[in-house]
Structure 1
Amino acid sequence: MQTPRAPELNPALLPPGTLVGSWRVLAWAGGGVHGAVYQAVPVNMERAPPGALKLALLPRDPRFAREVELLSRVHHPSLPRLRDSGIWQHPGGTLHPFFVMDWVDGAPLYDWAQRHLPSSQQVLRLLAQLARALQALHAQGCLHRDVKGDNVLVRHSDNLALLTDLGSGRYPDASTLTPGTLPPGTPAYRSPEACLFELQFFRNPQAHYSAQPTDDLYSLGVTAYRLVTGEYPEFCEPFRDEAGTWHLEGLASAAPIVLNPRVDVQLNALILRMLSLRPEQRGTAEELAEALEQAAQRSNPDSTRSLFVQETPLSEAPVERAGPPSHTRSWPLHLAAAAALLPLLVLGTWLGRESPLTFPQPPPALTQEAEEVHLDDGGTAGLGDEAVPASSVVAPPLSTPGGQTEDTLPEVLPGQRRPDAKGRCARPQQTPLNGGCWIKTALAREECETLKGSMFQGTCYLPVPPHERQPTSRPVHNP
């Protein structure tokens, strides 16, 4: 098979047969903002195990050198193994870095849960594997900085969880690549201390938050909470003291066991431990891994039954996520997203759609019982909506739009703006679709879901609110 000719080649969509270094592209496997992933095999070794070849979309992208450095420094079964790296020269002359990892035949975490309906025991084992991967990173002074469900693959052959996409990671003495108050990452998974820092210093261009291993553990807690409840945890509203310092009193969200009574008590306690507002209460990755492994070894009826109730056969249901869509209003997410999406976000609460998987309703007494239970879990006390003493951090809360699956037209939400009689929306950037006006964005599925948008044909659409915000710069005329 001949390599396609010249300037027609696009790093984001290379056709099969393209040569990249000593590798031959077999198929496109995915893509993101900075790179595309291909299944590839070594040239003249077609029967060799395939690799996952990640190619930079931008010439000389420094993020790729950072990911190669991280993968070369840390070796663990739950981290991808680096097989090769190099530079691919586009026929037009530009140089694009690439690297090759072992090919993982698996599914993203939330999609895997949708298919396999895991028990608390299985989730504990997966979380322990991820904690061990973080332990290996942290032992080398490295951080992942973007732990989330979309960056976890569960291998089909043995259900091993692998922590992928280290492009946002950091190792000692690495140069800073991303300007801004906060390091790269996904807003819904940011730690409370990072969000408070941004609230406190967002007007100071010289202030830069330095992520810590406990930030990775908090993100793992968000991943676990999202996995077992279908929702993202949210903080209480921040407040500022007389000295002007921002604080948080605790989590506003219910404990996982309140939202999903099938969650094992030990799993519930360990998730709350990871979500502690005080970083020191989360412990280390090694301590967390040991606690998760010990909990997984203790079998009881609650830990071995499925966490989810199957109401629609999987063969008939669209695979989008495990559990129902989130209805939370997480102010740190809105704060971090506001810089890019402020004109698009909606003030108010929008209801999502039901998912093929639902969670059993807790009995009336469960919430009270959960609040009264206390475990010796290394610093996390209580299973209910207990306030945790606070830290300090950054900006006022916003609210956002709805969510849905990817294979059907997005449904118009109550009060959403609609096209006029000629099928046109009020502004050029608004898209008429299925009787409503939408903002078409480049958000990934996870961020779209968190903002209660709708994925359709691989694109995120945010609903246009009924009344747009008034410009804050408009003069006020008093009568």
Structure 2
Amino acid sequence: MSATLPHVPPGSLIDGWQVSKPLGDGGFAFVFLGEKNGSQRAIKVAQHRESSGDPKQTHVRTLRELTALLMLDHPHIVRPQGYGLAESGNLYLALDYVDGWTLAEWAERKHPTVREILGVFEKIAGALAYMHRRGVLHRDLKLSNVLIRKSDGEPVIIDFSCATYTLAEDLTDGGLPPGTDRYRAPEQFKFLREHKDEHRARYAFQVADEIFAVGVMLHELLTDPRPTEFRPRFDLNSPALPPPPPRLANARVPAALSDLVENILARDPKGRPVDTEALRRELADLRAERSAEYDVPAHPPAEQRHGGTTPAALAVPSSPQSLKRHVALMERALRAGSWLAGVVCLVALVMAAALWRSSGSAPGGPAGSRDAAAPRPPPATTHSPPTETSPPAMTPAGPSFVKVPGPAIAAAPKEGSALKTPVPEASSPGRAPRLPKKSVAAIECASLSLVAALAAGCPGAQIRPEAFTCPAGAEEAMREQLHWKEGDSFSLQLDDRQASFDNVWFTAGAEVVGVVPKGVSDDRQDAVAPRGTRFYGKAYYLSDKMGRADGPALVIRYDRVKLPGQEEYPICFVHEGTVVAFKDGRVKASNRGSGTVVDRWP
């Protein structure tokens, strides 16, 4: 039986390869930078996954990864350079060492233009098309599994731990193949719901799933100035709500590119490009566009260094055009079936529209808007980014956000009364007209309506969790490897990054990392969830209007656990605690509590 590889300090040897530094570790392997005879390689040593139920899979899975890589020879796909046995008895692969940044790091460090991002994704799609023609599927595409080589800026797809190929043996016991949930296509979760009672049901991963993952990557780079930051994000594979168009979140995204990303992320696989070669051609066509809007950085570098802008879903629409885009997004939500959230959001937006009209900013209003006043950009003559980062006149400038101390209700005007529209003050040439105080108040009121709507369940606010089955493989892992029983209760510090005993603020929808602290004296917990055990999950807020007789609650769903010296396992573990306060999408509650092992999310 293969042993799990212990910590390997620099200078150690792995089958003659001298370890320089660790490069990372995941569910299936540890990766080190190794040197031998003047050559540098990424040494990937398999680690045993107890959840597999079969220690032989340690080698079988690594051999399958090696087989998949040996079928491929492409400049944008990592190449194998050998294999062998580590001193621990575990199989290792020697791979090309790519000295580079992940896609997320590259976006933050290099401030690429839209055209440069398209060029990278065109090459990624080309590599995937080559891979798919040979019957290989990666199955875990994400920002961290594509590196941009520092020496030449070329992308390289790495980490084929989850890859499969035609006629390969199925090594997964759960309903879904291995992968990262955020990048899974929505049809995978639909499959789980429809086959939750069929123990042997297995989802057949398709090229359409791979294309969806590319769409998630592209959406994240175009809409998030700081994609490496650990914070809550809109779930792009929600079965109820379609993802917001990239152009709605970032005015620098050209309309044609925004439309393409929406197609790639279509809920129906038939709405996506037919294959990765078709996707590559569409990306190439956009990259060849001569418009200057493709040659500005996708995000202002200042935002990427000092923090991103307000998420579009929380922003006040800055123009009638922006408001129309918000309304269109909510209408799609209604068509997608999330009628309650859509209705609430549309009501808020109708209020905002009325207030926009009252402020004189409706279509056909006073001339002198930014759209009309902005100069036309000169024709593009080079692909290099300009020294200044402000975009050409594509859409209005970014919206401002009004912080709200609590919910507010706007009183409707009395019947028969009219809202008077004051004339905007004159402004200096080149500036948009300044709105009078009453108009500003109207816009702020509209923002309050939007924030209130978000708290009721509009896009971007993950407040209430949906009832759903546990993660794939959780039931077996809890029973066979962790020896947990349904109803087991364990004490923990709910979020290790905050003060241990205090009441602290949790952001609804944000990730939390719990830990079992010192001083736990329960023998049962000490045996199966000892001190240092780490729980990974998300925080939610349930109000007393959501069917709770005991008042509002903080709910944390932990779906992964890592015991000291062991690997991660999928779990179903829930904490439910009393809320001290709720404000602006954040929940104040005690950071100490207990959780319960369940067989289904409540």
The TM-score by the shorter chain falls in which range? Answer: 0.5 to 0.7
Change in CA separation of 1:294 and 1:471 when aligned onto 2, cut-off 3 Å? closer
How big is each residue's C-alpha offset from its partner over 1:193-229, in whole Å with a ceiling of 9 and x where there is no partner?
A: 1111111111211211101011000011011111211
Q: Which of structure 1's runs of 4+ aligned residues deviate more than 4 A?
A: 235-238, 322-328, 368-372, 382-385, 387-391, 397-401, 441-444, 447-453, 462-465, 467-473
Match of 1:428 in 2: 491
Q: TM-score, normalised by structure 2?
A: 0.53
Verify the 8 A CA contact 2:219 2:261 in the aligned structure 1.
yes
Q: How far is 1:255 from its partner?
A: 0.6
* Deviation readout 1:148-204 (Å, 9 max, x if unpaired): 111111111222122211111111111111111111111111112111111111121
Letter of the 1:63 partner, please give it: R
- Call closer, same or farther: CA 1:324–1:111 in 2, change over 3 Å: farther
Q: Which amino acid aligns with 2:80?
A: L
Structural mapping, 1:362-373, within 5 Å: 363-367=318-322
Structure-1 residue corresponding to 2:514: 439
> 1:195 is matched with which residue?
189
1:36 to 21, 30, 33: 30
What is the match of residue 264 of structure 1?
254
Q: How much identity, in percent, do the aligned residues show? A: 25
Partner of 1:299: 290
Corresponding residue to 1:275 among 261, 265, 286: 265
Distance 1:162 1:361 in 2: 39
Aligned partner of 1:64 in structure 2 is 62
1:187–1:235 Cα change, 3 Å: closer
Q: Aligned partners of 2:325, 2:311: CA distance in 1, in Å?
A: 22
Q: Distance in 2 between matches of 1:24 and 1:155?
A: 23
Equivalent residue, structure 2, for 1:227: 221
Higher RCO (C-alpha 8 Å, min separation 6): 1
Compute the TM-score of the two structures, normalised by the length of structure 1.
0.66
Taking the aligned partners of 2:18 and 2:299, their CA distance within structure 1 comes to: 42
Q: Which amino acid aligns with 2:292?
A: P
Report Cα offsets for 1:412-439 as digits up to 9, x if no partner.
xxxxxxxxxxxxxx96222563235762
Cα displacement string for residues 360-384 of structure 1 (whole angstroms, at most 9, x for unaligned residues): 9864233466589xxxxxxxxx999
Offset of residue 236 of structure 1: 6.0
Alpha carbons 1:400, 1:452 under 8 Å: kept: no
Q: Which residue of 1 aligns with 2:145?
A: 151
User: For the structure 1 residues 235 and 145, does the alpha-carbon distance in structure 2 shift closer, same or farther, using more than 3 Å as the test?
Assistant: closer
* 2:124 partner SS: helix
CA distance in 2, matches of 1:472, 1:97: 36
Question: How many positions carry a matched residue from both structures?
Answer: 364
* Aligned-pair CA distance for 1:252: 3.2
Q: Quote the residue 1:335 is aligned against.
A: none
CA offsets, 1:441-478, max 9 Å, x none? 7588xx8899999xxxxx99x997546999999xxxxx
1:109 correspondence with 2:184: no
CA distance change for structure 1 residues 466 and 223 in 2, over 3 Å: closer, same or farther?
A: farther
Aligned partner of 2:391 in structure 1 is none
**SS of aligned partner of 2:165:** coil
Change (3 A) 1:134 1:384: farther
Structure 1 residue runs of 5 or longer lacking an equivalent are 1-8, 239-250, 329-350, 352-359, 373-381, 392-396, 402-425, 454-458, 474-479
**Is 2:244 the partner of 1:254?**
yes
Do 2:108 and 2:304's aligned partners in 1 also have CA atoms closer than 8 Å? no
Match of 1:19 among 13, 22, 30: 13
2:530 match:
none
Q: Does 1:79 pair with 2:142?
A: no
Q: Which amino acid aligns with 1:88?
A: A
Paired with 2:160 and 2:301, the residues of 1 have a C-alpha distance of: 34
Closer, same or farther: CA 291–388 of 1 in aligned 2, 3 Å: farther
Q: Aligned partner of 1:36: which letter? A: F
Partners of 1:87 and 1:472 lie apart in 2 by 40
What SS class does the counterpart of residue 89 from structure 1 fall into?
coil
Pick the aligned partner of 2:212 from 181, 199, 218. Answer: 218
Counterparts in 2 of 1:238-387, with a 5 A limit?
Answer: 238=240, 251-282=241-272, 283-311=274-302, 314=305, 323=308, 363-367=318-322, 386=332
In the alignment, the residues of structure 2 paired with residue 470 and residue 28 of structure 1 have an alpha-carbon distance, to the nearest angstrom, of 35
**What's the CA shift for 1:106?**
0.8
Alignment CA distance shift 1:235-1:163 (3 Å): closer
Q: Provide the C-alpha distance between the structure 1 equivalents of 2:310 and 2:67, rounded to a whole number of angstroms.
A: 37
**Structure number with bigger Rg:** 2
Change in 2 beyond 3 A, CA 1:443/1:217: farther
Q: What code does the residue aligned with 1:87 have?
A: L
Partner of 2:90, secondary structure, is strand
Q: Does 1:206 align with 2:195?
A: no
